[in-house]
Amino acid sequence: MNLGPHADFIVAAYAITIFVIAALVAWVALDYSTQQRILGDLEERGVTRRSRRKG
């Protein structure tokens, strides 16, 4: 594939886009595992949500 005289600009555009999207995906995935872990810790310590409580 020949990207011509402006190959650097094309490659940079794709590289930056991939980097930003990868960072966004990583942030969302890490945030999910963090919240899951905290919720697990709280439930282990016996803290439950009001809606889950009986009586």
- Number of CB atoms found within 10 A of residue 55's CB: 2
Between residue 7 and residue 26, which ones bind other proteins under the rule CB under 8 A? 7, 9-10, 12-14, 16-17, 20-21, 23-25
Rounded Cα–Cα distance for residues 23 and 29 (Å): 10
Between residue 23 and residue 52, which ones bind other proteins under the rule CB under 8 A? 23-25, 27-29, 31-32, 35-36, 38-39, 42, 45, 47-50
Which tokens go with 38? Answer: 């905290």
Rounded Cα–Cα distance for residues 32 and 27 (Å): 9
Residues in contact with other proteins by CB under 8 A are 1-7, 9-10, 12-14, 16-17, 20-21, 23-25, 27-29, 31-32, 35-36, 38-39, 42, 45, 47-50
